[in-house]
Amino acid sequence: MTRLDTAHERLVRRTIQTPAARKLDLSFLAIANDEVCIALKFDGANCTEASIVHGGVIATLIDIAGVAVAIAGARTMPQSGGTSQLSVNYLAPAISCGLEASAVLLRGGGRSNVARVSVTDAAGKLLAEGHVSVTLK
């Protein structure tokens, strides 16, 4: 992992300061130019029945992590951008657990970016995987 310059890191950190992200109480575990890890604490308010974390919450986590790693990998400081495509595969239920999203940049550095995001529980069990396409301007 290569450390980011201060301006890039500050912009990456803003991705978890949006109103939707603040409701989820996300925090960064790692930030580098090619990988970002974000933690989501368990909260029963984010669950469906039987304490299963809602799929929409997991999709939001994947989306935010994908955008964050795209910004981190940008060669120049982006002025704006957003998700252009999001796909999620749910592999196992997230039952009563916090989550970690690890995002790696598959293609990046410019306007079009693609990230792969793996979501695991604290034991490292893979629960979901997603691909996020991000357009930066």
pLDDT of residue 123: 96
Contacts of 8 (CB under 8 A, 6+ apart): 33, 71, 72, 74, 77
Measured between its terminal Cα atoms, the distance across the chain in Å is 24
In this prediction, residue 2 carries a pLDDT of 73
Q: What is the pLDDT of residue 3?
A: 74
Q: Are the C-beta atoms of 70 and 104 separated by less than 8 Å?
A: no
Name the residue among 59, 9, 17, 68 with its Cα closest to residue 38: 68
Distance CA 44, CA 69 (A): 28
Q: How far apart are CA 107 and CA 24, in angstroms?
A: 27
- Could you say which architecture CATH assigns to the domain 6-136? Roll (3.10)
> Which residue, 127, 8, 18, 9, is CA-closest to 83?
18
Digit-coded pLDDT (tens) for 42-94: 999 999 988 999 999 999 999 999 999 999 999 999 999 999 999 999 999 99
Domain locations in the chain as residue ranges = 6-136
